[in-house]
Amino acid sequence: MVPVYNEAANLAPLIERLKPVLDAQVASWEIVCVDDGSRDGTLAALRALHARDGRINAISFSRNFGKEVAIAAGLDHADGNVVVIMDADLQHPPEVIPAFLAKWREGFLNVYGQRTDRAGEGRLKRNFAKAFYRLFASFGETELPEGAGDFRLLDRRVVEALRALPERARFSKGLYAWVGFPATGVPFEVGERAHGESKFRFRKLFSFAFDGLSSFSTVPLKIATWLGVLIAIVATLTGLYFMVRTLLFGTDLPGFPSLIVSIMFFSGIQLISLGLIGEYVGRIFAEVKRRPLYLVGERVGFAKHDSVHPRGDALPPLIR
């Protein structure tokens, strides 16, 4: 399954490269593309591809819901015994899929591609990613394997486990790790983006990172608490010191700057802690609203579902 957002130019080359690999590896396959509200003719390209080969199916969101949600929808609609998730921009080379399948046949249910280098990604992004993984590891109740991303093979059992997770805030990288199952990595080299540019601007990456941390850890909240405790202790000690000093040596009126500085410092800390709590409350709010995860505007293909669905149940609803 492939999440696609404004990738019209990449789709045909991707399918060209995927087909021979899949034909050589498995008896039957389908490609599920999730058009994440593209505005560049991606949907038309998908329709054309489906018209030429019925094994290429697509769903199209009513608007852009983000890659994480697109992946969730793809997993809802892909019904193979094995599902491979990959990007549309040819950064995930299809030629690695045989290696995934080999691992799967060895008994691994969750086979992830492991980036050997991040050369194509720019220094800022690379360092940011590194810092994030270090932070996640130290906060973590869940361990993320290094260099593992969304390029991976999932056994049906893993797919069903992921589909059963109800949360709206979907940090897939964490969820893959959270569900467990025997997992292993296959190293691969990230290719150059074929056409277009990355959809992840720095700001988006930052909020993505905080989403990841906050949905897998409450450590940021604990940090606020401990910071508060620490500062309270320091304040008490300082208070005692001044009391003793005043008793022994009397008052000296100056001290105005330190007063201002400490007031500002503490109100800063309080606002940060409040904001942090607010972030979590906001996320709780988003979860309890139980808005649908995505809205499907159109389905392209999935003809076989009209007869007998392999999983025996109905086509997934247009809303989830």
Q: Encode 184-212 in three state secondary structure.
A: EEEEECCCCCCCCCCCCCHHHHHHHHHHH
Q: How far is the CB of 60 from Mg ion (least distance, A)?
A: 20
Q: In the set 76, 79, 87, 211, which binds ligand UDP (CB under 6 A)?
A: 87
Q: What is the DSSP-derived secondary structure letter of residue 306? A: G
Interface segment toward ligand UDP; rule CB under 6 A; list 52-60, 63-71, 74-82, 172-180: 63-71
Mapping DSSP onto H, E and C, the string for 125-141 reads HHHHHHHHHHHHHHHCC
- Whole-number Cα distances in Å, 172 to 38, 102, 193, 220: 21, 23, 22, 20
Q: Which 144-203 positions form the footprint of ligand UDP (CB under 6 A)? A: 193, 198-200
Query: What distance in Å separates the CA atoms of residue 280 and residue 264, rounded to the nearest whole number?
Result: 25
φ, ψ of residue 183 to 5 degrees: the values are -125, 150
Using the minimum distance from each CB to ligand UDP, give the nearer residue, 66 or 113. 66
Nearer to ligand UDP, 109 or 115 (CB): 115
DSSP state of 116: S
273 binds, among Mg ion, ligand UDP, none (CB under 5 to 8 A by kind): none
Strands (E), the chain: 2-4, 31-35, 56-61, 82-85, 110-115, 148-155, 183-188, 296-300
Binding residue count for ligand UDP, defined by CB under 6 A: 17
**Of 22-30, 66-74, 249-257, 274-282, which part binds ligand UDP (CB under 6 A)?**
66-74
Q: Which stretch binds Mg ion (CB under 5 A): 41-49, 91-99, 100-108, 296-304?
A: 91-99
* Residue 35 within binding range of Mg ion, rule CB under 5 A: no
The size of the chain, in residues, is 320
Per CB under 5 A, the segment of 70-78, 85-93, 173-181, 233-241 that binds Mg ion is 85-93
| Residue window 30-59: x/- pattern of binding to ligand UDP, with contact defined by CB under 6 A | ------x-----------------------
With CB under 5 to 8 Å by kind, the binding choice for 114 among ligand UDP, Mg ion, none is none
- Nearer of residues 125 and 309 to ligand UDP, judged by Cβ: 125
Q: Does residue number 89 form part of the binding site for ligand UDP (CB under 6 A)?
A: yes
Nearer to ligand UDP, 180 or 292 (CB): 292
End-to-end CA distance of the chain: 18
Q: Find which of ligand UDP, Mg ion, none residue 126 binds, CB within 5 to 8 Å per kind.
A: none
Decide whether 126 or 309 has the Cβ nearer to ligand UDP.
Answer: 126
Q: Is 89 in the site for Mg ion (CB under 5 A)?
A: yes
Q: Which residue has the tokens 């649908």?
A: 292
Q: Is 91 in the site for ligand UDP (CB under 6 A)?
A: yes
Stretch that binds ligand UDP, among 4-12, 16-24, 76-84, 306-314 (CB under 6 A): 4-12
168 Cβ contact list (under 8 Å, min separation 6): 286, 287, 290, 291, 293
- Contact call for residue 91 and Mg ion (CB under 5 A): yes
CA dist 83 and 107 (Å) reads 15
Question: Whole-angstrom Cα distance, residue 84 to residue 194?
Answer: 20
Cα separation, 92 vs 193, in Å, equals 9
Residues in contact with Mg ion by the rule CB under 5 A:
89, 91
Which spans of this chain sit near ligand UDP (rule: CB under 6 A)?
A: 3-5, 7, 36, 64, 66-67, 70, 87-89, 91, 193, 198-200
